Structure 1
Amino acid sequence: MADLSLILSPQTPADLAAIERLDERAFGPGRFARSAYRLREGVEPDYALSFVARVGTLLVGANRMTPIRCGDHPALLLGPLTVDPAFRSGGIGEALVLKSLEAARAAGHALVLLVGDETYYGRMGFAPTPKGKLEFIGPVDPERLLYCELVEGALAGARGKVRRARRGSLTCPTGEAGAAQP
């Protein structure tokens, strides 16, 4: 068999149907009830920060970065991170996360949140959010609400409710004019 290389590329709207099928296989229909899914509902991902992984022409992984608000501060929500079960444990998920973090940092974003396991995401720079700092919508185990500062000290000013960015708006990395509002 030919050696096929992993190719990471920015997501496009044309990838959405294949990503939806991948998410369905990996997470099933119950995924829509999860708090993080509800937070992303109605908000377009930032395609420049969201990536797909392909082996040859086969889409084997995807992740999304969605603008959110942490109180009055802009941030990004990473997820879902999905890897085809046949390709798990090969570093694809970690490559997707690191690529998104690198792109977000280069674009001037300061803070990324996700709901996940610290044992997995900790090696990519994520840590548990201090108790009482942020209030996530819906039921979320506080130990699983993780953050990654792309700019040192970015979490300090973020507090309060984590909520979706307004439909059709993009989060301005600086939090100035053009930033998404509640």
Structure 2
Amino acid sequence: MSRKRHFLSNAYEYFNTLTLVFYLMVGIPLVFFVLVYLSYEEQGGLRATENLQILTHIIIPLATVASIYFAYSVYKLKLRQHQAVRFQEKLKAFHEVSLYKYGLLSLANFLPVISMYYTGEQVFAGLYAIALVVFSLNRPTHQRISKDMKLSEEENQWLRSDKNFDEL
């Protein structure tokens, strides 16, 4: 009887799960952006901002920036709180804190899309593009995990190997 594989089985499963979550969190707001953008293109395109409104033109951009800021702050705080010793514990901790970061960055991507939907203004397409670039800079990589979790040279080799993590 074979055991069910989990995301901490080996490097492939780990990165596959982490990357899948990353692209899902990037992709969902992107789909909504495309739908909203195409909807406005059928109506003649997005328009320029004519008059400033406090909620849409100040609060939403500030909330987007705050969400990005909190994504990094929470990420760094939670990394410091996890004092894992074992290799698998470190990987599990990185996975957990990455979910928080991706969630907040996803929120930073959704806010401009929602505002663009309600206003049809170009400024929110630009704000979304900036938030998307920031999010895309956080793709899970070997280097990011190694640096952020302060992996030893041996643990780096394990992360790049095809060995089963239960055997380590």
- Give the TM-score normalised by the residue count of structure 1: 0.23
Structure with higher strand content = 1
Structure with higher helix content = 2
Tell which structure's C-alpha radius of gyration is larger.
2
The structure showing larger relative contact order (alpha-carbon pairs under 8 Å, at least 6 residues apart) is: 2
